[in-house]
Amino acid sequence: MEILTLGNKIKNRRKELELTLKDLAGDRVTPAQLSYVETDKCKPSLDLLEYIAEKLGLEMDYLLESEKKQVSRFCEYNIKLSNIDILQGNFKEAKNRILLVLETAKPYNLNEYIGEAEKCLGLVYKNLSDYDNANRYFLSALHKFSQINSTTKIIETYIELGLVAYQKNYYSSALGYMRQAERVAENLEEIQAMLELKLLYYLMILYAQENDVEKSVLYAEKVTEALELYRDKKRFGNKLLEMGRAFEKQNKYEKAMEYVQASSCVYDGMDNMDFIAKIQTDIGKVYTMNSVLEKSYNYLCKSLEIKKAMEDTSIPLTLIEISNNHILKKDFDKALEIINEALNMSIIAGNREYEALAYRHLFKAYIAKGDYIKAEESIRRSADILESIEYNKELAGCYIDMSEFYKRINREKDAVEYIAKAIELYRVH
């Protein structure tokens, strides 16, 4: 990016208009004085600057804009584009743009934009599963945000660090980062609704991962409260938008703009229904794990409703969780009906991963029902699919299920064979 000094701006515009120094100077100043201004050897008075702006057809705001302000504008624009690139999966373009931002911002010590760029770079590496580099850039971004006390960005970055640790199976570290984010959030008078939801949701998941039953249920309740607050804010946003449109119809555009802008602030970060559906599913899973079956069922049904409205491709996952709920209630026929629905959807969509998962859950449902013949058929189908798509970690888990199943029905030779297969897969992969 070319950063223009005041002199550069005047000189470039003068040459565009094919004016000489003498033409621009007129009777107001000498060409020599203008030459000093163009080479930034002296600063013009405000009166002279107004004269130059008028002669060159330039805005005073443009001429008065500092180099630092130009850099800030450039960085802000490119960081926004980088975030869009990341959302669209254009990681190479995002990385190149971010590196340019860092190169531009560092000489001016613009820690806000340096931190934002490093956070974006961390997101690029996280999406590419390069968790070590992601961790490095998130930590660096956190340091920058701490220097300027950017509380919301600090919370967001702690969450990202927690997610990276989670991906590396460092669950205690992940929980530690999320708790740090929670402590920072407690000092905020108000936190963005979606950010609060994410934080509480990840805490719920991590406490469940650590088998802390009491806290996983506690945070499931907190997520529930945050969801209600989220819905209230969305309703408030809708009301503001309605009022804005009413003023627009009355041709009161200034008043309409006030309400639309207020509505926009409320909506910021709220267009995230796929994440809301995931939250509903996982609240249901936590309640299922802790045998709070009625609450579990309600949340899973809410999630299913959202996913169906969005035509979400992950509907089979929620159906499988609902079937687990029915298994725990010992309503095996209903469980099998729902899993078969998930299986058929997966086959029609050509999603082999979900198909294998559905067969694995059919296996569990048939075992619970006591139908061992169909259970064996189902788990073998699951294993065949996982082998064909080379999902080795999942296949190893499937082999462990098979080993336990064969042990249950006193087929010791088969039990030993499949546990050996599982161990070999874990060893190689």
The band of 68, judged by pLDDT with boundaries at 50, 70 and 90, is confident
Q: Is the separation of the CB atoms in 276 and 203 below 8 Å?
A: no
Q: Each residue of 310-330: pLDDT tens digit?
A: 778 889 999 998 998 888 888
In whole angstroms, give the CA distance from residue 89 to residue 81: 12
The band of 31, judged by pLDDT with boundaries at 50, 70 and 90, is confident
Residues 320, 394: one domain?
A: yes
In whole angstroms, give the CA distance from residue 379 to residue 395: 10
Residues 327, 224: one domain?
A: no
pLDDT at 325: 87
Residues 185, 196: one domain?
A: no
Q: Each residue of 141-200: pLDDT tens digit?
A: 999 999 999 999 999 999 999 999 999 999 999 999 999 999 999 887 777 777 888 899
- Residue 80 counted as domain residue: no
* Of 308, 324, 352, the domain-final residue: 308
Q: Is the separation of the CB atoms in 224 and 279 below 8 Å?
A: no
The band of 21, judged by pLDDT with boundaries at 50, 70 and 90, is confident
Residues 386, 295: one domain?
A: no
pLDDT at 37: 72
Cβ-count burial of 337 within 10 angstroms (0-12 exposed, 13-18 middle, 19+ buried)? Answer: middle
Domains contained in the chain, number = 4
Name which residue leads in pLDDT, 41 or 243. 41
- Residue 84 counted as domain residue: no
Q: Each residue of 212-270: pLDDT tens digit?
A: 888 988 888 888 887 776 666 666 566 666 666 666 566 665 665 565 555 555 555 54
Residues 296, 201: one domain?
A: yes
**Which tokens belong to 331?**
């309503």
Residue numbers of the domain that contains 293: 192-308
Residues 291, 388: one domain?
A: no
pLDDT at 270: 47
CA of 412: how far to CAs of 366, 367, 379, in Å?
Answer: 20, 18, 17
Q: Each residue of 72-130: pLDDT tens digit?
A: 888 988 898 898 889 888 999 999 999 999 999 998 899 999 999 999 999 999 999 99
Residues 23, 49: one domain?
A: yes
In whole angstroms, give the CA distance from residue 313 to residue 323: 18
In whole angstroms, give the CA distance from residue 240 to residue 260: 7
**Which tokens belong to 386?**
């996982």
What is the rounded average pLDDT of the residues 41-64?
Answer: 76
Name which residue leads in pLDDT, 238 or 53. 53
Proportion of the chain above pLDDT 70, given as a percent: 85
Chain centroid, CA 144 distance in Å:
20
In whole angstroms, give the CA distance from residue 160 to residue 134: 9
- Residue 13 counted as domain residue: yes
- Residue 210 counted as domain residue: yes
**Which tokens belong to 168?**
């590396």
Residues 155, 128: one domain?
A: yes
- Residue 83 counted as domain residue: no
In whole angstroms, give the CA distance from residue 36 to residue 155: 49
The CATH number linked to 345 is 1.25.40.10
The band of 2, judged by pLDDT with boundaries at 50, 70 and 90, is low
- Residue 346 counted as domain residue: yes
Between 8-12, 93-97, 134-138, the lowest mean confidence (pLDDT) is in 8-12
Query: Three-state SS string across the chain, please?
Result: CCCCCHHHHHHHHHHHCCCCHHHHHCCCCCHHHHHHHHCCCCCCCHHHHHHHHHHHCCCHHHHHCCHHHHHHHHHHHHHHHHHHHHHCCCHHHHHHHHHHHHHHHHHHCCHHHHHHHHHHHHHHHHHCCCHHHHHHHHHHHHHHHHHCCCHHHHHHHHHHHHHHHHHCCCHHHHHHHHHHHHHHHHCCCCCCHHHHHHHHHHHHHHHHHCCCHHHHHHHHHHHHHHHHHHHHHHHHHHHHHHHHHHHHHCCCHHHHHHHHHHHHHHHCCCCCHHHHHHHHHHHHHHHHHCCCHHHHHHHHHHHHHHHHHHCCCCHHHHHHHHHHHHHHCCCHHHHHHHHHHHHHHHHHHCCHHHHHHHHHHHHHHHHHHCCHHHHHHHHHHHHHHHHHCCCHHHHHHHHHHHHHHHHHCCCHHHHHHHHHHHHHHHHHC
Q: How large is the C-alpha radius of gyration of the chain?
A: 30
The CATH number linked to 19 is 1.10.260.40
What is the rounded average pLDDT of the residues 404-427?
Answer: 90
Residues 96, 182: one domain?
A: yes
Residues 95, 112: one domain?
A: yes
Name which residue leads in pLDDT, 236 or 25. 25
* Of 131, 155, 189, the domain-final residue: 189
* Of 308, 330, 352, the domain-final residue: 308
- Residue 158 counted as domain residue: yes
- Residue 175 counted as domain residue: yes
Residues 166, 234: one domain?
A: no
Residues 332, 293: one domain?
A: no
Q: What is the mean pLDDT of the chain?
A: 84
